[in-house]
Amino acid sequence: MKKKLYLVRHGQTLFNRLHKTQGWCDSPLTELGKKQARAAGKFLQNVEFDAAYASTSERTNDTLELIRDMPYIRLKDLREMSFGTFEGADEYLQPKNWFIDNPSAFVQYGGEDMADVQKRMNETITAIMEMEGNDTVLIVSHGGAIGNFLHKWAPETVKMIRSQRGIPNCTVSEIEYDPATKTFELINMTDPGRWYMD
């Protein structure tokens, strides 16, 4: 029997608003980010989750807590890609078109290779979905990390991600996991903030 994963990007943060590079560094949710998280909660209000997970970043923890009042597990391997010495710097200073043309652009600056991010995300999420009783799961992670994961299983999303400069905050990716083949299928991506904002 297939399992269901709801993979959510965190709400808008202060660094998002200021266009600062934010990977392993952190900043708090803005008021808009909190509204986005509550909107995602309304969108998911009829889903019964067996388990919930988030990265170790404050921004994902706060987002998950606003989506659903339930116990959850924090995992480092769900965190955002590391951008090395670019952490906290203005986004315009990043190497041009790195997401598409140069996936290892940040390695020379102490950051991560996108292939490594994809590997850790895929291994971690697969392990979560393989756990007995985890039939419907909520995971709150990050735009770059989610983008790398989706690039493996739904590469056609890359064009969409490029066109809108990333995955919008609190976008919900509805994904099916097949334990028999250990594969994921993206069913739908929804930005609840468009309809459920306070």
- Binding-site members for substrate are 9-16, 59
Q: What is the DSSP letter of 153?
A: H
The two structure tokens encoding residue 84: 């090395």
The single residue of 19, 80, 87, 142 carrying the catalytic annotation is 80
Active site residue 19: no
The single residue of 10, 87, 142, 151 carrying the catalytic annotation is 10
Active site residue 151: no
b/e map 78-95, b = 16+ CB within 10 Å: bbbbbbbebbeeeeeebe
List, as residue ranges, the binding site: 9-16, 59
Closest to 187 measured CA to CA, from 176, 171, 172: 176
Residue 133 zone, left/alpha/beta (φ > 0; ψ -120 to 50; rest): left
**Which residues are tagged catalytic?**
10, 80
